[in-house]
């Protein structure tokens, strides 16, 4: 498996992979939204051979990286994407990796397994929906 910066040709694959995150309030898989993020160089895609099996958007915000979206279609890909994000933070001297995660995704166990040590539940935070905030301070020892 390899992880590369996504280009325009990956937009429809990203939309398919990320569509699991769509809610009745927001379409993360909207191709215009994805195209804008790809053109900024913020989308990354995991490939097995030529086949896209995961996607992640890393948005730089005020000296940190926010995981805007992450989704995997094959076990082990989520871990690889997070490891990629940690290495990118280290390379660019970003001290923080964090994300929002709606409780409906049931992804807390994933973020715990990945070593996110800050975990806050915000009630009715996003369109009236409960949402976690997960955070990890990046150190030279982060893996």
Ligand X SMILES: CC(C)(COP(=O)(O)OP(=O)(O)OC[C@H]1O[C@@H](n2cnc3c(N)ncnc32)[C@H](O)[C@@H]1OP(=O)(O)O)[C@@H](O)C(=O)NCCC(=O)NCCS
The tokens for 65 are 């990286």
**Which of 58/93 has CB closer to ligand X?**
58
Q: State the residues that interact with ligand X by CB under 6 A.
A: 20-21, 70-72, 75-79, 99, 101, 105-107, 109-110, 113
135/121 Cα distance (integer angstroms): 12
The tokens for 28 are 């993360």
Min dist. Cβ of residue 80 to ligand X (A): 7
- Strand 96-102 vs strand 64-72: parallel, antiparallel, or unpaired? parallel
Min dist. Cβ of residue 12 to ligand X (A): 18
Min dist. Cβ of residue 108 to ligand X (A): 7
Min dist. Cβ of residue 75 to ligand X (A): 4
Which whole-number Å values give the CA distances from 111 to 24, 37, 90, 114, in the listed order? 24, 23, 19, 5
Residue 82 burial (CB count, 10 A): 23
**Which of 38/81 has CB closer to ligand X?**
81
**Which of 9/75 has CB closer to ligand X?**
75
Helix (H, G, I), strand (E, B) or coil at 49: coil
**Which of 93/133 has CB closer to ligand X?**
133
């Amino acid at each position: 498996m390899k992880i590369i910066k996504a280009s325009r040709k990956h937009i429809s694959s990203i939309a398919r992979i990320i569509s699991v995150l769509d809610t009745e309030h927001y379409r993360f898989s909207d191709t215009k939204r994805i195209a804008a993020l790809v053109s900024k160089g913020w989308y990354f895609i995991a490939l097995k051979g030529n086949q896209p099996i995961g996607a992640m958007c890393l948005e730089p915000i005020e000296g940190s990286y926010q995981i805007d979206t992450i989704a995997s279609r094959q076990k082990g890909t989520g871990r690889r994407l997070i490891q990629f994000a940690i290495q990118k933070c280290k390379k660019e001297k970003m001290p923080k990796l964090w994300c929002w995660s709606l409780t409906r995704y049931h992804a807390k166990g994933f973020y715990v397994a990945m070593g996110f040590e800050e975990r806050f539940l915000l009630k009715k935070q996003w369109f009236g929906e409960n949402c976690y905030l997960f955070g990890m301070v990046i150190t030279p020892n982060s893996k």
